[in-house]
Amino acid sequence: MNDRLYYDDSFLKNFSARVVDIREVSRTSGVSLWQIALDRTAFYPTSGGQPGDTGILTATSRNGAVLEVPIEAVEEDDAGHVWHFTRKPLTAGTEVHGSINWDRRLDHIQQHSGQHLLSAVFARELEAPTVSFHLGDAVSSIDLTTGPIAHHSLERVERIVNEIIAEDRTVTIRAVARDQAEKLLADGALRKLPEREGTIRLIDIADYDLNACGGTHVRSTGQIGSLLLRSTERVSRGVRVEFVCGLRAAAAARHDFTLLGRAAAALSIGRDDIPIAIERLQSEVKSSTKDRQRLREDLANYHATRLAVEEMIRDNLRLVRRTFAERDRDYVRLLASRVCATVPRTVALFIAAEADPARIFLACSHDIDLNCGDFLRSSLAAHGLRGGGSPDLAQGDLPRSQADEVASGMAGRLRQLLSRPHIDDD
């Protein structure tokens, strides 16, 4: 069993130790990954939702040469041994100086200790127990067994957490036997007890919370700095609450402030006026969209009339064929149905070629004996393309480069089929 120095002192940054075991874990492209065991360590191994430490082991040889061994990850195995993972091997028996990445550790201490406090406040104020904890790169989260939480309740929980942080209550650690811990749990003094035998390590936030944990913690709540709740979301077991503590809380607030500043500058208003300005813009967009739709319909009516005038009736059929390079599909579709609704004996064969694939529309007035859906489907199928629709209006997609050729073939067949209304069947 390794001697875990962080149990007694979470703030220990440097320590001396001896390599007691080293094993090759894997080898990729000629580079080996090694796992090293020390007789004692201040490195925290990944566990309980808190990521492990990184850092450096330094060994000095007899001739004074210094070897620095970066530790990329620290894990514990099922037997409870702590392993330090590195790309550089060290011989068993080597005396080393260990140095943990302190910025990362302090950040983890703040997030993890903040979680103790946050879970305690949720349990006390909302009777919402914490079932899991995740310490992420950007935000941390806890899952609570509870129904939806009202916004004012979240604000109250956040305020109480920050009040206890400001009170700078001491955080002490003590070890008790399992049966003692069970008694504390039964009395309601202990918030949670994990399923493990042997000595139980208790984290005590003075006069507020007692919980069993093997992690790294602050010495007093003031060191958490601050806690900022971020978002909540429904999860299968209840509600997930995201939060940040310490410097992360300041960074998150700074990030939000910058975003608000950019939004305010874009709108040329003050930050506090952003919500009202967005509501105003939304209402303007809604009314503009209505206006635009009305204008499109008016335009389509005029446009349809003009097209009908431009195209003469020949052999009792007005075949209007056009390609629109700069009109969107919705407009071309609207125009096709308007042309056929406006004037009798009319077939519209339109291509919206603004995008590739282009879209072809076929529409006919009610006095034309044509099923547009069937005709377009079979015409496109002959080119390996798909399309269809109702008897009055049909559509299909085709490569822009092919559009004119296909439309021209269809126009020819439509003339053959529809131009001689009095012809006898065969």
Residues of this chain that bind Zn ion (CB under 5 A)? 213, 215
Residue 1 makes CB contacts below 8 A (sequence gap 6+) with 80, 81
**Closest approach of Cβ 211 to Zn ion, in Å?**
7
**Closer to Zn ion by Cβ: residue 37 or 213:** 213
**Closest approach of Cβ 166 to Zn ion, in Å?**
21
**Closest approach of Cβ 10 to Zn ion, in Å?**
10
**Closer to Zn ion by Cβ: residue 55 or 215:** 215
**Closest approach of Cβ 128 to Zn ion, in Å?**
19
**Closer to Zn ion by Cβ: residue 115 or 365:** 115
Q: How far is CA 151 from CA 147, 229, 232, 242, in A?
A: 13, 11, 10, 14
Of residues 43, 44, 3, the one with CA closest to residue 20 = 3
**Closest approach of Cβ 217 to Zn ion, in Å?**
6
Of residues 18, 235, 66, the one with CA closest to residue 148 = 235
- What is the number of the residue whose Cβ is closest to Zn ion? 213
**Closer to Zn ion by Cβ: residue 135 or 351:** 135
**Closer to Zn ion by Cβ: residue 12 or 417:** 12
**Closest approach of Cβ 59 to Zn ion, in Å?**
32
Of residues 144, 140, 163, 151, the one with CA closest to residue 244 = 140
Gap between the Cα atoms of 28 and 385, Å rounded: 50
Contact 58, 88 (CB under 8 A): no
Contact 319, 365 (CB under 8 A): no
**Closer to Zn ion by Cβ: residue 215 or 389:** 215
CB burial class (10 A; 0-12, 13-18, 19+) of residue 296?
Answer: middle
